[in-house]
Chains A and B, each alone.
Chain A
């Protein structure tokens, strides 16, 4: 059973527009969420995180929103740039040091 779901395998967005990547989770005990970006032939790199005590966290062009009642988080990238083309993973954790990962969403930024 997938506790963290990224239902869109891929997403195509025009350069300069907003990219919105979504992630749903089922375990209400998750209290920490992270987004990672992965380029081909490289390991994932940390992008942004959010604790369950917050509903929003911002870092430059990247903002993560958390809706605990809906068990949903989203990553907004504004404006989208060609270098943002990558696979984005969301991950969640409770108190046991184990991260549960989604399957990833491939973001394609069109020029």
Chain B
């Protein structure tokens, strides 16, 4: 079966711009979580969506937002980009939550210049 698909794989944006990242979960998975990974910081939790509802949110500013569609695909949006937003953004899907096992996508590498 197809894995978790994240698009695009790489992205270069300018400070002040906005960006939208996409995540298509494994078929049948209803939970989608987003993470930011920066060197030395591990994975920082952004938010989790389950059945189109945001179920949990990490400690990121309001510039970071997301949504989930009825087919469980999810998008993440970052507005007014800052240099510090440069990171690998990972999406993970599961049937109902982490205790059922997360499957991660390969990530979107965002570079802000």
Chain A residues with CB under 8 Å of chain B are 4, 6, 9, 32, 34, 36, 41-46, 89, 91, 93, 96-104
Extra pairs beyond A96-B56, A99-B45 (17, CB < 8 Å): A9-B40, A32-B99, A36-B102, A41-B106, A43-B92, A43-B103, A43-B107, A44-B104, A46-B102, A89-B43, A93-B98, A98-B45, A101-B35, A101-B45, A102-B42, A103-B42, A104-B42
User: Within 8 Å CB of B56, what residues of A?
Assistant: 96-98
- Asked whether, in the complex, the Cβ of A97 is within 8 Å of the Cβ of B55, the reply is yes
CB<8 Å pairs between A and B, sample of 25: A4-B42, A6-B42, A32-B98, A36-B104, A42-B106, A43-B90, A43-B105, A44-B90, A44-B104, A46-B102, A89-B42, A89-B43, A91-B43, A91-B98, A93-B99, A96-B56, A97-B48, A97-B55, A97-B56, A97-B98, A98-B58, A99-B45, A100-B45, A101-B35, A104-B42
CB contacts under 8 Å to A, within B69-113, are 90, 92, 97-99, 101-107
Number of A-B residue pairs with CB-CB distance less than 8 Å in the complex they form:
59
Interface presence of B4 (CB below 8 A): yes
Minimum-distance CB pairs A-B, first 5? A43-B104, A103-B42, A101-B43, A101-B42, A97-B97
Question: What distance in Å separates the Cβ of B10 from its nearest Cβ neighbour in chain A?
Answer: 10
Question: What distance in Å separates the Cβ of B73 from its nearest Cβ neighbour in chain A?
Answer: 17
User: Within 8 Å CB of B101, what residues of A?
Assistant: 46
Residue among A99, A101, A102, A103 with most chain B CB within 10 A: A99
User: Within 8 Å CB of A6, what residues of B?
Assistant: 42
Question: What distance in Å separates the Cβ of B75 from its nearest Cβ neighbour in chain A?
Answer: 17
Docked CA distance A52–B68 (Å):
32
User: Within 8 Å CB of B40, what residues of A?
Assistant: 9, 103
- Asked whether, in the complex, the Cβ of A98 is within 8 Å of the Cβ of B104, the reply is no
- Asked whether, in the complex, the Cβ of B4 is within 8 Å of the Cβ of A43, the reply is yes
